[in-house]
Amino acid sequence: AQKVTQAQTEISVVEKEDVTLDCVYETRDTTYYLFWYKQPPSGELVFLIRRNSFDEQNEISGRYSWNFQKSTSSFNFTITASQVVDSAVYFCALSEAGGSYIPTFGRGTSLIVHP
Partner 1 sequence: DAGVIQSPRHEVTEMGQEVTLRCKPISGHDYLFWYRQTMMRGLELLIYFNNNVPIDDSGMPEDRFSAKMPNASFSTLKIQPSEPRDSAVYFCASSSRQGLNTEAFFGQGTRLTVV
- How many whole angstroms separate alpha carbon 29 and alpha carbon 98? 7
Are 49 and 58 a contacting pair, CB within 8 Å?
A: no
By CB under 8 A, residue 108 contacts partner 1: yes
By CB under 8 A, residue 7 contacts partner 1: no
H/E stretch holding 111 reads: strand 109-114
Residues that contact partner 1, how many (by CB under 8 A): 22
The stretch near partner 1 (CB under 8 A) out of 9-17, 21-29, 45-53, 71-79 is 45-53
Instruction: Please list every residue from 65 through 94 that binds partner 1, using CB under 8 A.
Output: 91
Classify residue 56 as left (phi > 0), alpha (psi -120 to 50) or beta.
Answer: alpha
Nearer to partner 1, 14 or 45 (CB): 45
Minimum gap (Å) between residue 68 Cβ and partner 1: 15
Nearer to partner 1, 65 or 107 (CB): 107
